[in-house]
Amino acid sequence: MDPNLFHQIHSRRRFLDRCAAGLGTIALSQLMAAEGRGPAAPRSHFPAKARNVIFLFMDGGPSHLDLYDPKPAMKKYEGQALPESMTKNLRLAFIKPTAKVVASPRSFAPGGQSGTPLSDCMPHLATRVDDICLIRSMFTDQFNHHPSQLMLNCGSPLAGRPSMGAWVNYGLGSESQSLPGFVVMRSGSNAPGAGTGNWTSGFLPSSFQGVPLRGAGDPVLYLSNPHGVNGEMQKATLDALRDVNQMNQAETGDLEIASRVASYELAFRMQQSAPELMDISKEPAHILELYGVDAGRKNPYARHCLLARRLVERGVRFVQLMHGNWDHHTNLDSRMKTMCEQTDRPVAALLTDLKRRGLLDSTLVVWGGEFGRTPMVQDDSPDKSDGVGRDHHPMAFSLWMAGGGIKGGQVVGSTDDFGLQVTADRIHVHDLQATILHCLGINHEALTYRHTGRDFRLTDVAGKAVAKLLA
């Protein structure tokens, strides 16, 4: 921010805070909006197709070769090493370039009117294939989990940058007054490599960071009042904290204080809204059956997908469901089946449910992980009993999008006969991020935040919205 402008705003804050009739409090929110720091300052640059995003993040790097990108020609090269000319520039985490090719054991069949082939591991998604835009030409710059997850979610492999959900929340604010604008739910085995860095607000005000919700029990730890504290006592405490914080805000101009006030007050409102959100007992039986949520199926991901629909219905701007572990270095075939059994039905149900309710047109759904897997085999088990797997592969992988602003029923991009390199329509993760923002009515080059003397953005200094993906 320009120093003179900061001084003017700071001086106006001090003046308005000293005025009577609560004018200072009213002016604070208006000044934050004028500075572009508050959720009351939407930054849409053109009409949006999507109002909400559900990002189905598959932690660990799902194998595109076994799910979305069939390569029957690989069977001819089973057990052989690829030519050196194809592997000399590869960055591999655990295997050597001389590792042998292993073809996918999965079968693929065309689905829907579009005829898009999907793996037999995903029979439910195959029924919704005409709703999705399958991208087979994704690539990234990083080949290990932590930096690659940060690259996908935050636009940079460096820790401390704001996540995509935080940028969207900062740019558009939340449509809900009683729930966070950015919600995260985790399931499956292992914590994601980048941990909380996947949903951090970075250098943005902390009110824009993702709020983790639990699928059972208290949705947020310590949200309930402790024994002996009633609503009147809590409100009196919050009012006193707000007054002190606003005095400090007016004196210092520190926007993080306003974020703290907003967080306290949101938590107070969530004590009423969160239990209602999590109570799915009033959902019709056919909806619970659609997602696979019932007493006989202990699958947290199914519940999370249903909650994602309920969250966007209530105005939450960005919902991120993180499910792991797709990092299949060994025992690929059986572990892939397990992961798809956990996710395929709930994801297809989410698309079906959103569409039936007229929400898919305004909700952008994204499915993908941080990178793909190699066509070459990895076998680390001494006795060969665990089965083979695949190594990390950043140069080519698959991801799909559906809903608000996206043209469904198509495949964009292609890879060579081994799924090793992109051969058409290369789409970098920055291009994906630019496209997501475009669907929300945001020009990715214009959504910036001044930090340490530089204007930062989600897509760093690159990226473009991909026209082929757009409806």
| pLDDT tens digits along 174-218 | 888 888 999 999 999 877 788 899 999 999 998 899 999 876 666
The per-residue pLDDT for 268 is: 58
Residue 33 reports pLDDT greater than 70: no
* Better-predicted residue by pLDDT, 431 or 238: 431
Residues 6+ apart with CB under 8 A from 163: 153, 154, 197, 198, 199, 200, 201, 202, 209, 210
Residue listed under structure tokens 């294939």: 129
Residues 385-443: tens digit of each pLDDT: 568 899 999 999 999 999 999 999 999 999 999 999 999 999 999 999 999 999 999 99
Whole-angstrom CA distances from 424 to 69, 74, 173, 201 are: 14, 19, 36, 34
Residue 36 reports pLDDT greater than 70: no
Residue 108 reports pLDDT greater than 90: yes
* Confidence category of residue 40, pLDDT binned at 50, 70, 90: very low
Residue 13 reports pLDDT greater than 50: no
* Confidence category of residue 31, pLDDT binned at 50, 70, 90: very low
The per-residue pLDDT for 276 is: 80
Residue listed under structure tokens 């659609």: 290
**Contact in structure between 73 and 417 (CB atoms under 8 Å):** yes
What is the DSSP pairing of strand 132-139 with strand 397-403?
antiparallel
For the chain, the average pLDDT equals 85
Question: pLDDT > 70: what percent of the chain?
Answer: 79
The per-residue pLDDT for 18 is: 39
The per-residue pLDDT for 218 is: 66
pTM (two decimals): 0.85
SS3 (DSSP) at 369: coil
Cβ-based neighbour number of residue 135 at 10 Å: 27
Residues 138-153: tens digit of each pLDDT: 999 999 999 999 999 9
Residue 293 reports pLDDT greater than 80: yes
DSSP track, 60-114: T---GGGTT---GGGGGGTT-BPPHHHHTT---SSS-TTPBB------EEEETTT
**Contact in structure between 413 and 426 (CB atoms under 8 Å):** yes
| Token digits of residue 201 | 């607000």
* Better-predicted residue by pLDDT, 183 or 31: 183
* Confidence category of residue 277, pLDDT binned at 50, 70, 90: confident
Name residue 58's amino acid. Answer: M
HSE-CB of 58 using CA atoms within 13 angstroms: 25
Residue 100 reports pLDDT greater than 50: yes
Distance CA 89, CA 66 (A): 24
**Secondary structure (H, E, C), 250-277:** HHHCCHHHHHHHHHHHHHHHHHHHHHHH
| Token digits of residue 29 | 């929110």
Distance CA 451, CA 244 (A): 27
Q: Read off the pLDDT of each residue in 73-98 and give the average, rounded to a whole number.
A: 91
Whole-angstrom CA distances from 128 to 26, 201, 310 are: 48, 34, 20
Residue 221 reports pLDDT greater than 60: no
Q: Which of 114-118, 197-201, 296-300 has the lowest mean pLDDT?
A: 296-300
